[in-house]
Amino acid sequence: MSIDIDLVKHIAELSRLDLGEGLNEAEARVAWEKMTSDLASIVGHMDIMAEAETDNVEPLYSLPTEPAGPREDIPSEVQSAEDILAQAPDRLDNYFVVPKIL
């Protein structure tokens, strides 16, 4: 798989990331190029796996089912809603508050 700067920018857009935030144009270009070459190197390393012989091998999607198999449909007794709300950077009553989105 080839990684180019357009693909990195697309992935960043999907993830709401801006590598150039707070940088001038030249610095930003360096940041994007560095990420592109880093990612290309990581993905290139992963490509070694593509050399493995996998004909007639069933895909393994996960490790054995225990201990994380299905659970009974019984409500948990632990109530953690207040703990979680307390961690929120901003809240209004029991709502989480986030920057305006549309």
Residues that bind another protein (CB under 8 A): 10, 14-16, 61-65, 68-76, 78, 80-81, 84-85, 90, 92-102
In terms of CB distance, is 55 or 82 closer to another protein?
82
Cis peptide before 67, with omega less than 30 degrees from 0? yes
- Side-chain-side CA neighbours of 42 within 13 Å: the count stands at 6
| Minimal distance, residue 19 CB to another protein, in Å | 16
| Minimal distance, residue 8 CB to another protein, in Å | 14
Cα gap 13→26, rounded to integer Å? 20
DSSP helix/strand/coil, 27: helix
| Minimal distance, residue 91 CB to another protein, in Å | 9
In terms of CB distance, is 56 or 62 closer to another protein?
62
